[in-house]
Amino acid sequence: MLIIVCGLPGSGKTTLAEAISKKLPAAHVSSDVTRKSMFPSPKYSEEEKAAVYGRMAGEVAALLKQGRDVVADATFYRASERQRFLTLAKEAGAEAFILRTVLSEDEIRKRLARRKRGGPSDADFSVYFKVKGLFEDVTEKHLVVDSAMNERDMVRIVREFVGR
């Protein structure tokens, strides 16, 4: 099974992805961690983004082919990237689900202001605003998760959605 966790910066993607990964259990493939391993001082260029999603796709495909469950955690703001990962699941004979995290803009601003420098994500409110303007609608069947909920409730509704 592949669970794609998408959403705007600061909307709770990684918190949700980590919680799901622990409960299922599943491998957690994070764009933030992948980016920092590839680019210690990332510029967030289109070339870097393509390389990060490419590396993630390779890792996800390998894990799915091993029969592992995987949670892929990234903004996935482009529909083409979401489709790419859905295709990986199909090719591996795995079910795929999309989760989109949402949160009020005020709370996102607060969360991003609290982020520690040097952590996996460098996104600040200006990055949030940029991605917000680029985010392509999720037209596939998906679950919207309000990350203002407590972790236990988020995991419960996700497990119901994926049937586990």
Span 27-64, pLDDT tens digits: 999 999 999 999 988 888 889 999 999 999 999 999 99
Structural contact between residues 4 and 60, judged by C-beta atoms closer than 8 angstroms: no
Do 38 and 157 form a contact (C-beta atoms < 8 A)? no
pTM: 0.93
CA angle (75 as vertex; 57, 48 as ends), nearest 5: 60
Would you state the pLDDT for residue 8? 93
Query: What span, in angstroms and rounded, lies between the C-alpha atoms of 98 and 2?
Result: 9
Q: Catalogue all structural domains in the chain, each as residue range(s) with its CATH number.
A: 2-162 (3.40.50.300)
Q: Are 61 and 68 in contact (CB under 8 A)?
A: no
DSSP bridge partners of 6: 100
Q: Is the separation of the CB atoms in 85 and 116 below 8 Å?
A: no
Assess whether pLDDT exceeds 70 at residue 117: no
What H or E segment, with its residue span, contains residue 102?
Answer: strand 96-102
